[in-house]
Amino acid sequence: QVLLVESGGGLVQVGDSLRLSCVASGLTLRDYTMAWFRQAPGKEREFVAALRRNTNTPNYVDSMRDRFTISRDNAKNTLYLQMNSLQPEDTAAYYCAAGKNLILSSIRTPRHYDYWGQGTQVTVSS
């Protein structure tokens, strides 16, 4: 059974930082493309960042490239998202996702991912 468990969300102030974690069990992280998505109330789930399997080359939404950093620790089977200079528009539930056979053009599309976590809420207060 595959489980992805996110943690690290919370209520923060504008300009603060958070590091989200996603611990994977039942799969080997490096064998999957791993990604972070987010979803605000009333909006569609949107891509944040991804690491393609067997590489450490990240892929980001341009608007988040300078503030967010995706990384993984294969030994801990854990995916991370470091978020700096948080803004109210970053308020959302953040989800990690794992996809086995994704091509580059697919990594930003939620329906191509095989497994999802339950999400962790990030709220940025002004």
pLDDT tens, residue by residue, 67-119: 999 999 999 999 999 999 999 999 999 999 999 988 888 999 999 999 999 99
Bridge pairing between strands 58-60 and 115-116: unpaired
Instruction: List C-alpha distances in Å: 22 to 13, 42, 68, 109.
Output: 23, 24, 15, 19
- For residues 35 and 87, what is the distance between their CA atoms, to the nearest angstrom? 21
pLDDT tens digits along 2-47? 999 999 999 999 999 999 999 999 999 989 999 999 999 999 999 9
Q: How many CB atoms lie within 10 A of CB 28?
A: 11
Report the DSSP beta bridge partners of residue 36. 49, 96
- For residues 46 and 13, what is the distance between their CA atoms, to the nearest angstrom? 22
